Structure 1
């Protein structure tokens, strides 16, 4: 199973159902009330095929895409603006997240074979970069909102270290969120899952439940509200101005980023929230082996879709971001690629969002 969606069962008692979704296990005994022992072979088989294939694809596409973004940013490192710096840190978070995927793919296929120390390290690294990507997107949204709607510069282009320090604070906050991984994560065998060793949490259910609700609020609801409000006001501002080509392209970029974010994250977080309610027995649900297996499969599928988001941003930059496409094709021109399109399409130094935006906040993307 992958780190984001795991179903494990207590090795001490066959009548205890111990569910771990997004790295948190909760003891739940509703199935034992009726003396049911479920067969989880179908869930294990689904994960062993689905996860390695999708994670391998994500690793290949994500490393290439984010690697190209990093190369372009490195080539223009002396003139990085605020958005570029946020995108730099976002790419680093995406790449580090991608590097953990092979471990979870192996776990899905064969079980966790790397031991408890690497289990803690990989789980913490996964958590740090998993949430760092979300918070970086929120920072980008807030910066664009302030610079476009209010013409307020949170950061000075002449002092890029201020922006880097803001990104460092995000990294440190995500490090704090990973503390439970360092403390509670262990590699343990599960007798009800064909004696497979899995990298899971091993602590008190109340603590895990509190962390789960905290993550629902901090890591999806608040960032989602911020992103929606920021881009709603940005669109309102752009639509009230003259409808030049740059503004129309800006609207397309904004819509693409927002839609991509919610397509990848909403199904997973809704499924996770259902799992939290069901695990906490907040509402009365008649659980069966079929419904529990279906939830496990849904968590696996939606979490994989969420993780694929780290591959999407470079694709959006390439197909929607005019300036990024120009930099990319300029870099690839020695290999035989040429830029086709109207002359001077991206030669202007004004913002890709709006000519009224201060150019110190404009991005190559």
Structure 2
């Protein structure tokens, strides 16, 4: 690693699908993961748009957030064929397409994560604090703010993504002007990712705890779904951001062996981000009845009644 101008032949960020090891086991695994995500995720999200399963049980706020989640996931999943082609072949679409497609992937991933966060907070407020949100203007402003934040967070990817030629192979990949820039991008992504994860986990664990207090309402299906959501986020989000931090440490320590090892593992870990986009329809839309407004209101009322009984 050049200590003055470090650069990487892999993208090491959440929108990262440009993975460029040699076409061996290290390259095969993430390519298969990306293909699986596309083949399962695109039909699943389109099915939610067309059929809108269980939407009749959801509040208008939940419906809009659910549709926003689908649009966000499709935004990054529909670009996967081009990235897989680049991964196993070369980039032939030019610099403008490289930057725009990367920007769209980042916007989709950040949009998806922020929407998941909004859904968890909405459910938390309804059950734990019994606060409903029915003001349509407020919902519209929330969605506008969500996409504005996603666009702002995606700008660094737009800046660092370049088309490069190495060993007669043209790639669309991240190029960093300095170690400081590289570390800043990594740690910023890690901070945002961990913050979102902890907000979602806090919201769902408090929700589950509140509902469980009302033993006569306790729904095993709801508990299993909450557990599945948290476990899937931990398995698909946390490892990637853990390697963000580890790669930053390797850069600071100028440990080339650790850096090489982390980058090799990050190929597959980065691809797992897209598995989350293909699981979202099954975690949020097709099982949404468990978190419908009626179900949550019943749970909130039952838990509050139970608590008041204990206090009296």
TM-score, normalised relative to structure 1: 0.71
Match 1:131 to one of 95, 100, 110? 110
Contact 2:34-2:80 at 8 Å conserved across structures: yes
**Residues 203 and 273 (structure 1), Cα distance of their counterparts in 2 relative to 1, 3 Å cut:** closer
**SS at the partner of 1:186?**
strand
Q: Distance in 2 between matches of 1:314 and 1:272?
A: 27
Which residue in the other structure is 1:89 paired with? 68
Which residue in the other structure is 2:194 paired with? 221
Count of aligned pairs: 294
Show structure 2 runs of 5+ residues with no match.
15-19, 302-312
Match 2:163 to one of 180, 183, 187? 187
**SS at the partner of 1:352?**
helix
Which residue in the other structure is 1:163 paired with? 139
Deviation of residue 293 (structure 1)? 4.4
Q: Which moved more, 1:194-203 or 1:68-77?
A: 68-77
Q: How does 1:268-279 map to 2 (within 5 A)?
A: 268-279=240-251
Which residue in the other structure is 1:18 paired with? 7
Contact 1:253-1:321 at 8 Å conserved across structures: no
Which residue in the other structure is 2:227 paired with? 255
RMSD of Structure 2 on Structure 1 (CA)? 3.1
Q: Does 1:243 align with 2:216?
A: yes
Deviation of residue 221 (structure 1)? 1.5
Q: Distance in 2 between matches of 1:318 and 1:201?
A: 34
**Residues 43 and 293 (structure 1), Cα distance of their counterparts in 2 relative to 1, 3 Å cut:** farther
Deviation of residue 292 (structure 1)? 4.7
Q: Distance in 2 between matches of 1:267 and 1:59?
A: 21
Contact 2:57-2:294 at 8 Å conserved across structures: no
CA deviation string 1:119-177 (max 9, x = no partner): 01001001111111111111111111111000012x21xx4342132022111111112
**SS at the partner of 1:200?**
strand
Larger relative contact order (Cα-Cα within 8 Å, sequence gap ≥ 6): 2
Q: Which has the higher helix share?
A: 2
Match 2:32 to one of 31, 41, 53? 53
Contact 2:164-2:172 at 8 Å conserved across structures: yes
Which residue in the other structure is 2:268 paired with? 301
Match 1:351 to one of 291, 294, 306? 294
Q: Distance in 2 between matches of 1:277 and 1:69?
A: 41
Q: Distance in 2 between matches of 1:102 and 1:354?
A: 42
**Residues 54 and 261 (structure 1), Cα distance of their counterparts in 2 relative to 1, 3 Å cut:** same
Q: Which has the larger radius of gyration?
A: 1
